[in-house]
Amino acid sequence: MNLTAENISVKLGGKEILRDVSYNFKSGKRTAIIGPNGAGKSTLLKVLCLLNEKFSGNVKIDGKNIRDIGRKNLARVMAILPQERDAPQDTTVRQLVSFGRFPHRKFFSGESTEDSAAIKKALELTKLADLENRQVISLSGGERQRAWLAMTLAQRPKILLLDEPTTYLDISHQLEVMDIIADVNKKFSTTIIMVLHDINHARLYSDDVLIIKDKKIFASGEPKKILSAQILSEVFSIEADTFTNATGDEIIFPLKITKK
C-alpha cells in the first residue's frame, strides 16, 4: 500500500512543529525517520495514522484521504507502536496480542479462527509462544517490547508505524527487535515506517531514510548515500568517522560534539 504525506504542517499551542512536509513512503519498503530531538519525528508518525488530527495538508493511502477511510477501516490496514503505552497489570501476553484483532471483529463477536491464527503467528514471529500465559508486567524489557510489537502484528497491517522501537533496550534486545522488523518486512512485504535514534540501525535496517530538521525535511534517500559523516555534522552538530565492519557494512562512529 502506498502512503503519501502532502504538505503536512502542525502547530500545537501556537508553536510550529512541522512545516510543509511532503513524502511518498514506498510500498513494501522500510523507511527510517531520523533527526534531532524535537524535530517533529514522532509528531509526523502520529499524523500519518490520525493519532494527531490537528494538522493541515493530506495523508493518503493508495490515493484515498485517510480522514475519509474511517478509524476502524484504517486500523485494519495500519498499526502503530507508540512510545507511550500501558496495559492492566493482570494482562497476559496472549490477551495483549489479542487486542490487535479488535479492528477485524464484528461487535459482540468472539475470537474467530482467523483471529486465533493471527495471534498464534504474531507470537511465533516475536518468539513469545512459550510466554503467552505470562503476565506482561512480569516480562523483561525486551520481552515486553516484543509483546507490544506482537500486538501490532496481530492486526495484520499493510503499514506498520514504529516510534523508537528499541528505546531502553540493551544492545542484544535492540538487535532482536530490529531483526524481527526486518523479518516481517521480508515475509509479508509490510511497509515499515520507524522513528530511530541509532544512525547505524537506520543504515542497516532501512531502504530509505527521511531526515527531519528545523521542522521540515532536510534530506531523504538511500541510507548509504545520505547518512555520511558530513550529514551528521550538519544535522546533529557532531564529528564522526566511518569504518567498514566484518560483514562489509559501513558504520558511523560519533567522535565529539562540534558546537554547543
**Cα 196 from Cα 165, distance rounded (Å):** 8
Strand, coil or helix: what is 175? helix
DSSP E strands in 26-169: the ranges are 30-34, 56-61, 64-65, 78-81, 159-163
Question: Looking at the DSSP assignment, which residues form a beta bridge with residue 210?
Answer: 33, 220
Q: Which fold has domain 3-87+157-227?
A: Rossmann fold (3.40.50)
pLDDT value, residue 89 = 86
What dihedral do alpha carbons 213, 214, 219, 220 form, nearest 10°?
60
Residues lower than pLDDT 50 in the chain:
none
Strand, coil or helix: what is 243? strand
**Cα 145 from Cα 139, distance rounded (Å):** 9
pLDDT value, residue 260 = 59
Q: Kindly tell me the number of DSSP H helices and DSSP E strands found in the chain.
A: 9, 12
Strand, coil or helix: what is 16? strand
Please report, as a single letter, which amino acid is at residue 75.
A
pLDDT value, residue 153 = 97
Rg, Å, the chain Cα set:
19
pLDDT (tens digit per residue) in 191-224: 999 999 999 999 999 999 999 999 999 999 999 8
**Domain extent listing, the chain:** 3-87+157-227
**Cα 22 from Cα 6, distance rounded (Å):** 4
Strand, coil or helix: what is 45? helix
pLDDT value, residue 33 = 98
**Cα 118 from Cα 153, distance rounded (Å):** 8
